[in-house]
Amino acid sequence: MNFAALSPAALLGVALAATLAVVALYLLRRTPRTQVVSNVEFWRRAVERSRPRALFATRVPWLALLVSLLIALSLVGEMGDPRVGSGFSGTTVLVLAADRTMTTRDDHGRRRLDEALALARATVLADTVSGQVAIVRAGLRPEVLVPLTHRAADADRALVGIEPDDGTADLSAAVAVARGIVHGAHTTGRVVVVADRDDFARVADPQVSVVFAPVGTPAETIAVTAFDARRDPLALGEYHVRCEVRSYSTRRARAHLVIRDRDTILSEERVTPGPGEVTVHRARGFSSAQAELSARLDDIDIEGGRDALTGDDVAYATVPPVVATRVLLVTRGNRYLANALAANPAVDLEIVDEAALAARRSTLSRYQVVVLDRVAPEPPLDHPALFLFGVVGSPALRVGPELRAPRVTAFAADHRVLAGLRFDQVQVVRAHPLLPTADDRVLVRSGHDALAIARDRDGARVLALGFDTDGTDLVQRIAFPLFMHNSLVWLDRREREFHSWQPPGEPIRASGSPAVVLTPAGVGHEVRSALYDTSRAGLYHTADRAIAVSAAEEAGSLAAAEGPRDVHRSARPGQTPVALVLAAAILLLLVVEWLFTLRGRLQ
């Protein structure tokens, strides 16, 4: 047995002091001697003679004294915080995983996090006997719950009320923090990782050993692994929804998938994924100024099993409000371009001539797209989205000699700009062939000559046509407005992939200072620039927008990592504390003293 609170010398000193105190109290309790008398006079004399006149003139109840000494020494032993066995002699840093998969429950309803906390408490109880312990919480970001301490009570208080995050724990970062704590202590030590997986980086370090203590048992679940929405670039105000459901089970599962925009049900269907199967569900044609979407799996049934994790049954997404694309048209006068752009309700158009362009060079960042009609400004414009009609040769974009009546022989129908269009019937009267570079995409070709190219390089996009509106009949065709719309969608990058949420842990930027961010629980937080505590999934609100925080693509298999728990044998959850044994012994001794002393059986 070891004592964590007091050293052996201090414990011996306290025990001796308690022994002396108990013995002194019994010696000071002077007991009159028994005297047999025959009358009152003899009784008075007997009282006088029986009155003790010396300090040790007493009869000591030896059994009561022994019981009292045992009680006092038991109390002293409990003050020393006795421990059975011995822990790690040195520095131990516990890394405790606290993420969404740690909420998985076993057949008895016990969470993996509960098992991890019990294992952590037992390890702390053993290792603080002859060493020191620190605890690092491995959530979305590592957090030191308690620095190095020799007191088990400090660590125990730090473990109270721990709740998991909705994202995936960064175990590698938490282990790095734990190794730094051990190095800072300038002693040999170890890092004990208590988690349900071991996907953390292992570094060869002779001073710090890393021990993995797995928790949990293999489990099954069905999850929403992806949920996104975006605006339809071809239908103003409408949006598309894509939801991915995956089965992490060896048996067929059934569930009810409900997709909502706030309280309005958009889609409702039964899903029956097979073992390990992924099903994708799409919906379109819905319109909303600003959609706040949720996808939830209800009534989950796994044949012969159960859904062990509920945190992956819901996901969130948002669709931002419709924002007009600001377009600057630089032209000497072109009614075709001006009318095609002005007729698009998603375009905020401003028209200037080449002379007025100089005054707007400093504010070009206000425009998402700049359209140049037969204009080659000097110096060239530095803008990430340029649409060039009737290209004029420049160092960045070279052109060849003029072609007369070139015939369109090929066009890239798979490119976003030409989606749904046919250019084989378009007539071109005159054009300057473009000389593309190796990474340019030729959109329209006349034999070996490129009549239109698309360039996407270094974060900037350029769409260039070797002909202008006067040199083609394209402007007279019904395809022209769609061609202009497709071009703006590609230049403004509105064709980007589905991604309408951010993972837990990423900050939410708020405009204004101070600003208020409303959490999914309805609690408002005043922030200066951003809200960094986004460990809970849900819909957050600022003054001008809604933000979806979702861990949909963070789901994974719930099978626990294989391997033994390589921690000290005394660190077992459910072990009876020594303090409880001593308390029971003290209670028994008190009962014995009451039975034999207070009832007068000991004189």
User: What pLDDT does residue 80 have?
Assistant: 63
Dihedral angle computed from the Cα positions of residues 460, 461, 467 and 468, in that order, rounded to the nearest 10 degrees: -80
Closest CA to 137 of 92, 94, 96, 169: 96
Q: What is the mean pLDDT of the chain?
A: 82
**For residue 494, what pLDDT band results from cuts at 50, 70 and 90?**
low
Predicted confidence (pLDDT) at residue 27 exceeds the cutoff of 60: yes
Q: 365-388: per-residue pLDDT in tens?
A: 889 999 999 888 888 888 999 999
Mean pLDDT value of segment 258-262: 93
Mean pLDDT value of segment 561-587: 54
Whose tokens are 């007068």? That residue is 600
Q: Report the b/e string of 416-449 with b at 16+ CB within 10 A.
A: ebbbebebeebebebbbbbebeeebebbbbbeeb
The CA distances from residue 353 to 380, 409, 484, in Å, are 15, 34, 20
Closest CA to 166 of 236, 224, 240, 110: 224
**For residue 198, what pLDDT band results from cuts at 50, 70 and 90?**
confident
**For residue 602, what pLDDT band results from cuts at 50, 70 and 90?**
very low
Residue 20 sits at the vertex; the CA angle it makes with 17 and 26, to the nearest 5 degrees, is 145
Per mean pLDDT, which range of 66-80, 158-172, 467-481 is the poorest? 66-80
In this structure, is the dihedral angle defined by the CA atoms of residues 345, 347, 353 and 356, taken in order, positive or negative? positive
Contact 580, 39 (CB under 8 A): no
Q: Answer whether the bond into residue 82 is a cis peptide, omega within 30°.
A: no
User: What pLDDT does residue 73 have?
Assistant: 76
Pairing outcome for strands 238-248 and 253-261: unpaired
Predicted confidence (pLDDT) at residue 145 exceeds the cutoff of 90: yes
User: What pLDDT does residue 55 have?
Assistant: 46
Residue type, 522: G
Domain assignments of the chain as residue spans, ordered by start: 2-81, 91-217, 235-311, 325-491, 508-549
Full-model pTM = 0.63
Predicted confidence (pLDDT) at residue 1 exceeds the cutoff of 70: no
| CATH fold match for the domains 91-217 and 325-491 | yes
* CATH code of domain 325-491: 3.40.50.880
Mean pLDDT value of segment 101-112: 87
Mean pLDDT value of segment 445-457: 93
580 or 121, which is more confident? 121
Q: 512-544: per-residue pLDDT in tens?
A: 667 889 999 889 988 888 888 899 999 999 887
Predicted confidence (pLDDT) at residue 409 exceeds the cutoff of 90: yes
Closest CA to 99 of 175, 195, 202: 195
Predicted confidence (pLDDT) at residue 4 exceeds the cutoff of 80: no
User: What pLDDT does residue 572 have?
Assistant: 43
The neighbour count for residue 537, using CB atoms within 10 Å, is: 25
Q: 338-375: per-residue pLDDT in tens?
A: 999 988 877 899 999 988 998 888 888 889 999 999 88
Bridge-partner residues for 446, per DSSP?
449
In this structure, is the dihedral angle defined by the CA atoms of residues 475, 481, 483 and 485, taken in order, positive or negative? positive
Mean pLDDT value of segment 207-228: 89
**For residue 49, what pLDDT band results from cuts at 50, 70 and 90?**
low
From the candidate CATH numbers 3.40.190.10, 1.20.1090.10, 3.40.50.300, 3.40.50.410, the one assigned to the domain spanning 91-217 = 3.40.50.410
In whole angstroms, what is the distance from residue 169 CA to residue 46 CA?
A: 84
User: What pLDDT does residue 83 have?
Assistant: 58
Whose tokens are 């306290």? That residue is 14
In whole angstroms, what is the distance from residue 217 CA to residue 519 CA?
A: 33
User: What pLDDT does residue 174 have?
Assistant: 94
Per mean pLDDT, which range of 29-38, 125-134, 457-466 is the poorest? 29-38
Predicted confidence (pLDDT) at residue 3 exceeds the cutoff of 70: no
Contact 418, 486 (CB under 8 A): yes
| Packed helices 578-593 and 62-79: angle between N→C axes, nearest 10 degrees | 160
**For residue 555, what pLDDT band results from cuts at 50, 70 and 90?**
low
User: What pLDDT does residue 38 have?
Assistant: 62
The one-character DSSP state at 233 is T
